[in-house]
Amino acid sequence: MSPAAEVEARRIAALLGVPAAELSYLRSRSASALTRLRLAIACAGMERHQRSFERLARASTLLPTTLAARIAQEHLGPALIAALAPFLPPARAALLGQRLEPAFLAEVAVHLVPNRAGPLLAALPLTLLSTTLQQLLARGEYAAMGAVVEQLPTETVTRLAAEIADPAELLLIAAYVGDKRCLRPVVDSFDDNAILQLLRCATEGAAMSALIELTAVLEAPQQQRLRNLLATLPEPSRRAWVEAASPATASA
């Protein structure tokens, strides 16, 4: 099991309140598949308490944003706020997010169910997303970042990706993106040097599987570009790629 999948398996165990060992049968699943499973479980919990969340969301709109943010941080906690967020009007939720402490907002992001919060995520200003990104990077919360990628506008994802200097972190985040086709524009936005850094990182570390999964869904011209750049790397790196890559990336 990859490190990314290990993280997701532990999160599923915590969500279900069972020891991680009881879910050992999940070891054959990919990180993205486990992410989808975790989100499905979380969505089921939200639906069970939907009426309560809707009432609480309506009540919160009667409070000034500053007061609502203070109550959220001091009394409700990040898990409850994450569950409540999809039931708030996106504009209101975005204003509330700007009043929360960055560390608290990052914790909310960890608990958020992205596929229920698409309109909210799209309404958040880039500056707030950037601040949250830096908090999540510092905490190593790659699963939380990867899970929201599909819910953000393409331009936003591209601009946020440009803020991540470490290619290993980019690959770790990509491992948690369910439909990696949404990353095609991000790949196009990288210059040759950035692509070479990704290729070196993948062949020298434990992120090869993430890059292979991404490469497999790229358009043909994008795949050709990666092959051309791979040919410029030292022979051991090229060999490591060929040995690990799928036929779609290695033999074309």
Q: What is the pLDDT of residues 110-160, one digit of tens each?
A: 888 877 788 888 888 899 999 999 999 999 888 889 888 988 999 999 999
198-217 pLDDT tens trace: 888 877 655 677 788 888 88
pLDDT for position 1: 64
225-243 pLDDT tens trace: 998 998 898 888 788 777 7
Going from N- to C-terminal start, the domains of the chain cover 3-179
pLDDT for position 220: 93
CB atoms within 10 A of CB 183: 23
Q: What is the pTM of this model?
A: 0.76
Given a contact cutoff of 8 angstroms between Cβ atoms, the answer to whether 153 and 122 are in contact is yes
pLDDT for position 53: 65
Given a contact cutoff of 8 angstroms between Cβ atoms, the answer to whether 121 and 151 are in contact is yes
2-28 pLDDT tens trace: 666 777 787 788 677 788 788 888 878
Nearest alpha carbon to residue 167 among 206, 128, 136, 133? 206
Residue 23 CA from chain centroid, whole number? 22
pLDDT for position 162: 93
35-77 pLDDT tens trace: 778 777 777 766 666 676 667 677 677 668 888 888 888 887 8
pLDDT for position 251: 41
